[in-house]
Amino acid sequence: MAMTSYPADSPSPPELPLQPICRDVLMEKYAQEGEHGIDDIHRRVARALAQAEKPGERETWAARFLQALRDGFLPAGRIQAAAGTTLAATLINCFVQPVGDSIIGNDEGYPGIYIALAEAAETMRMGGGVGYDFSRIRPHGAWVAGTRSSASGPVPFMRVFDCSCRTVESAGARRGAQMAVLRCDHPDIEAFIGAKDDGELSNFNLSVALTDAFMLAVLDDREVELVHRAEPGPRIRSAQQHRREDGLWVYGRRPAKALWDRIMRSAHAHGEPGVLFLDRINADNNLYSCETLAAANPCGEQPLPPYGSCCLGSIDLTRFVRDPFEPGARFDDDAFSRLAALAVRMLDNVLDITAWPLERQGREALLKRRIGLGFTGLGDALVMLNLRYDEPQGRATAQRIARTLRDAAYAASCALARERGAFPLFDAGTYLGWGTFASRLSEPMKMRIRAWGMRNSHLLSIAPTGTISLAFADNASNGIEPAFAWSCTRRKRLPEGGTREYEVEDHALRLYRQRRGERAALGPAFVTALQMSAKAHVDMVAAVAPYIDAAISKTVNVPVDCAYEDFEELYMQAWQLGLKGLAAYRSGSAAQGSVLEVRTRPACSGCAAPVAAA
């Protein structure tokens, strides 16, 4: 059987047999013609990223980049699949595209709806997922000046975008991904909340953008105004409707608690919509002075401005646990910091070698040079350190790892600015101004930033890493998540249609069994997502979030019998803790079908808990 193979001097796990699903995902999604395994892909990607270096130094950097990939840096899927190939594909995973209120014109710098549709189609054709804020589209029934017709509202136009996503085949046969965002004070917010109740919009994730004013109104049991800049028109004019001093038209008023309850009951029933806390997102933004963030990429880990993009990569934390499962198990901070610094350079290089679906996306990216370095395998790494994910010591260790990542990444970007120049919109006064993420850095780091600048406006993002963790990390736990189950049945879509089921095991369990034997009892650190409280999931995000400048993609898994009141409280706690958003999912609820299925099977002899099959 094929083996995962690493050089002897890298921070690597012992060799483990390559699981069939890991092999098939690797070869189907990432390997190109003539490539037969992980190291072939690593060599291609390393050579491609080195092309951004000076000509005489490319071989040296290619060798260093190759070692970084072998040591556990996992660039995002588009980089792994397309770097160094002739594919007409972007290396950037996700974008946010603006949508204006006109049909084909230009709405104060925002492209009309069908222009935005064409731009999104081109972005998806080249492999990028897209997030949109549909809040500029006038509500259903509003007056359309110069016509005898009234507006359709955002939701019918979302159906057009959904159909386009389903129709356009992206580069590398990647399924399209979209995020739709609507502000909580848009007059059509209730139609948006229920837009997927009948199974429509299957190519969208939905998120409601909540403001602090709305959340305070919920707590105080006050009404909120539903507003838009478009005039309602005579057919739906009522006594409540008037034009405010800020130019917005008031369409009506609703009790904030009633809207909140509508959002929460929909999320409780089928996992959507998620929520984005807009004011927190913008207050933390290093570039608050020159951009406003109103939407996020499809998985929510990157709030982005119009035409913004996220250049992503993750570090496999399991590769830095020394003496795993032993009483003296420890995390190698120094090796982790060194790899993080090199990963920043690699992601910065991606911005200079990638193809951009749209010229405006490229201009936006190179003005700010956003990247999103994060980690994967947190749940497994904690198990290997004998720490429970849902206990204070586990959260403290995760927080220390995130702080180490932040410090290494910001130091590396500052050093790159000294070597290559700061991003063009860098201004030390506003970048380090009160309230920004960067203002919380250490004073020595801020002194260096004032002296040399920053190469990248943003550096940190924790993304979901489903298929790259499968293909390159032996099914290590996904992103910031704990393991969903130690062993499971996973359904995989086949290129020719249909699905195939695979038995797959979590990396930490496989490593434990290799070291301790098949019959060894599992220790108390082996806790899965559904064996811990929902609050423990939120608490982990709260522990890590202060050290992540973009955002964190995290699904709070809760049991199907979670009471509505407890479920609702999770979202309120998330806002009160200063998080940037939240999505919770009741396993076994009426949410969209999962690729993982848990089936209880007989426990191993001597195991502390049953082994679940997913």
89-123 pLDDT tens trace: 999 999 999 999 999 888 888 999 999 999 999 99
CA 126 vs CA 86, 534, 537, 541: distances in Å: 12, 37, 35, 32
pLDDT band for position 128 (50/70/90)?
very high
Residue 7: pLDDT over 80: no
**Rounded Cα–Cα distance for residues 212 and 217 (Å):** 8
**Rounded Cα–Cα distance for residues 72 and 30 (Å):** 16
Asked whether the beta carbons of 502 and 492 are under 8 A apart, the reply is yes
Catalytic hit among 291, 301, 364, 505: 301
Best CA proximity match to 100, nearest among 89, 88, 113:
113
The per-residue pLDDT of the chain, averaged, comes to 90
**Rounded Cα–Cα distance for residues 292 and 288 (Å):** 7
pLDDT band for position 599 (50/70/90)?
very low
pLDDT, position 232 = 84
Q: Is 94 a catalytic residue?
A: no
pLDDT, tens digit (0-9, with 9 covering 90-100), for 236-288:
566 678 889 898 999 999 999 999 999 999 999 989 999 999 999 999 999 99
Class of domain 97-224+258-304: alpha beta
Return the higher-pLDDT residue of 603 and 582. 582
- The pairing of beta strand 204-210 with beta strand 178-183: parallel
pLDDT, position 144 = 81
Residue 589: pLDDT over 80: no
pLDDT, position 347 = 98
Best CA proximity match to 441, nearest among 579, 547, 342:
547
Query: Chain centroid to CA 185: how far?
Result: 25
Dihedral angle over CA of 33, 38, 41, 43, nearest 10: -130
pLDDT band for position 5 (50/70/90)?
very low
pLDDT band for position 492 (50/70/90)?
confident
**Rounded Cα–Cα distance for residues 484 and 590 (Å):** 19
Q: Is 518 a catalytic residue?
A: no
Return the higher-pLDDT residue of 309 and 493. 309
Q: Is 205 a catalytic residue?
A: no
Residue 13: pLDDT over 70: no
Catalytic hit among 297, 349, 475, 478: 297
Asked whether the beta carbons of 128 and 92 are under 8 A apart, the reply is yes
Residue 2: pLDDT over 80: no
| Contact partners, residue 121, CB within 8 Å, separation at least 6 | 164, 168
Torsion sign (Cα): 569, 557, 94, 479: positive
Report the DSSP beta bridge partners of residue 517. none
pLDDT, position 604 = 30
Report the DSSP beta bridge partners of residue 106. 111
pLDDT band for position 72 (50/70/90)?
very high
Compute the average pLDDT of residues 561-585.
Answer: 94
Residue 8: pLDDT over 60: no
pLDDT, position 390 = 97
